[in-house]
Amino acid sequence: MFHRDPQRPVFNGKPLFYLERSMARWVSSLGAIVYMVPEPDGASCPTVADVAQDLDGLVLQGGVDMAPQSYGEEPRKKEWAGDVLRDAYEMSLVRAMTDLDKPVLGVCRGHQVINVVFGGTLHQDILDELPGARVHRDAAIYDSLSHAIVIEPGGSLEKLYPGVTRATVNSVHHQAIKTPGQGVRVDARCEEDGVIEAITVQGPSFVRGVQWHPEFSDKELIRAPDLLDDAPILRQFLEAARDRRGKAA
């Protein structure tokens, strides 16, 4: 969401919803139809429950920081204030989808949103709260920054990538999960500093998150030639959506 801002020249500062083209292309690459879901606005609009009823699955894309107030803290710096309105909307979507046992996949910010929905907390800034941690975001090279992750035994990623214990992913974030929420299992961590890189919410619903950006998958534009193949993550999510739709038919 871009909120009203008279100083922003794009669309004369009007409020905007946006969808990254790379995300739309990635999700549709295996046959899904992608919709951007604007926030309901007004009593006559469809509710969040209506939206959840209509969707087969929900992907939460990256973007602005989560507001610390969303997990019971105050921002320690003004630039970490985040977007409490977007938080509230996306958290309500996650709850509505899981109430209907429909799958949810969170990417970067979306991964963090899932954790907060289930009672977890975040590091407002990795380097500020974890001295000695590696740099996880470099604006100058953006998605060319990468690092190794270690896949946790017994987790969802281990089952998705049999025999793979270590992989390379891109890194475009300065916040991260601090305390996992209730029922949130850690599936992968950064090899160098232990930052949580993938999660699964244990229970009947498919609810998973990854801290990296699988949609930034054009290998020609990314310097690391050995990035994890992210197609299995998308395929598993879409299979869960199709299975849920089949059961409801």
Residues involved in catalysis? 108, 213, 215
Dihedral pair phi/psi, residue 58, rounded to 5°: -125, 130
Residue pair 193/133 in contact by the 8 Å Cβ criterion: yes
Dihedral pair phi/psi, residue 98, rounded to 5°: -70, -30
Q: How many CB atoms lie within 10 A of CB 115?
A: 26
Tokens of 148: 């190794």
Contacts 24+ apart (CB under 8 A), 64-69: 64/1, 64/109, 65/109, 65/124, 65/174, 65/175, 66/109, 66/112, 66/113, 66/116, 66/122, 66/175, 68/122, 68/124
